[in-house]
Amino acid sequence: MKHTEEKRCGVLAAGNWIVDHVKMIPAWPAQDTLITIESNAAANGGGSYNLLKDLSRMRCPFPLAGIGLIGMDSDGDMILQDCESLRIDSRSIRRISEAPTSNTDVMTVIGTGRRTFFHQHGANALLSPDHCFLTESSARIFYLGYLCLLKAIDVIGPDRRTPASHLLQEAKSLGMLTVADLVSNETSDFDGIINPSLPYLDYLFLNEYELARLVGKELSVDPFRLEEYATILMNRGVQKAVVVHLPQFALCVRPGTPTMLHPSVKVPQDWIAGSAGAGDAFAAGFVLGLHEGWDPARCLELGVCAAAVSLRDATCSAAILPWTECLELGGKLGFNPVSS
């Protein structure tokens, strides 16, 4: 049944469901040397898992549901228990015996928060549109993430399209707003995987590295250059906005309107425990505002505030606060100046 956008409510997120094994180390070791792991913790990871958990912890006023595949293992148990405690509808998160729950070792340097990821695709690699029953959902927003880290959905077919592009097309045809996020993967088919989905996306989230790679330009943190790059993606078919986030600021490029930019929060260095999940926290803040009909400038503000709050813990979502407190904390700390 097709619902009109006005009657729809909630966020349905499909894609990566990962358990991060976050390991804190004093420094990054040289090849063939040893470093001590000071502490470790298991936590949520992956675009769909992080986004929904962040929205729940922000106390969003709308329903949340997930789509994905997990294994018959303790990591899969953890995901389902977490969803239950967070009131995330997990009925479309299926358990399979063919592969383990996707997992990542996140090596995080104490003091800087810099992290390196060692990822096992696991069950996520088998997720296909056949697992995504969109017609049963009345969600307002359909999120898919991460493109370039979902093997079966990323396959480029003879028609040069991907299953992801067909899934996003279906979501749009049902009246959902479509949103996707990327991962900084070294796949050689980066643009070939992403470009087919752009005409069926309302909003695309990505960082400065992913943006430069997607448009085939040199890496830049200059706002005017990033606006130019984002406009290329708008011309490739993104419907409503390309949203770029980086440590210094975030910007929203839309057709026919001035680009909006919001500086990042002035986060004290000793506050930073880890940056894993900061991009997803930004996306969650923006999506919360988008669902509620906020102006894009306010969506950007909540996004950068949520990202700043997330830095206080080495895991992706443990530090996330209710959305009102995220905004309050960002306002109290102030925002960084932006230079071109």
Chain segment 130-143, per-residue pLDDT in tens: 999 999 999 999 99
Residue 248 forms part of a structural domain: yes
What secondary structure letter does DSSP report for 100? Answer: P
* Residue 273's pLDDT band (cuts 50, 70, 90): confident
Residue 328 forms part of a structural domain: yes
Chain segment 51-68, per-residue pLDDT in tens: 999 999 999 999 999 999
Residue 338 forms part of a structural domain: no
Residue 290 forms part of a structural domain: yes
Cis peptide before 146 (omega within 30 of 0): yes
Determine if the pTM surpasses 0.75. Answer: yes
- State how far the Cα of 117 lies from the Cα of 281, in Å rounded to an integer: 18
DSSP codes, 174-227? TT-EEEEEE-----TTHHHHHGGGGGG-SEEEEEHHHHHHHHT------HHHHH
If one counts the domains in the chain, the total is 1
Q: Determine the structural domain holding residue 168 and report its residue range.
A: 5-333
CA angle 170-214-245, nearest 5°?
A: 85
Across 40-74, b (16+ Cβ under 10 Å) vs e yields eeebbbbbbbbbbbbbbbbebeebbbbbbbbbebe
Please list, in sequence order, all residues whose beta carbon lies within 8 angstroms of the beta carbon of residue 6, skipping any fewer than 6 positions away: none
CB 216 within 8 A of CB 194: no
Chain segment 26-37, per-residue pLDDT in tens: 999 999 999 999
* Residue 2's pLDDT band (cuts 50, 70, 90): low
Whether pLDDT at 338 is above 50: yes
Structure tokens at 129: 């549109």
Residue 267 forms part of a structural domain: yes
Residue 190 forms part of a structural domain: yes
- State how far the Cα of 141 lies from the Cα of 66, in Å rounded to an integer: 12
Residue 340 forms part of a structural domain: no
Find the CATH number of the domain harbouring 259.
Answer: 3.40.1190.20
Chain segment 157-189, per-residue pLDDT in tens: 999 999 999 999 999 999 999 999 999 887 779
Residue 287 forms part of a structural domain: yes
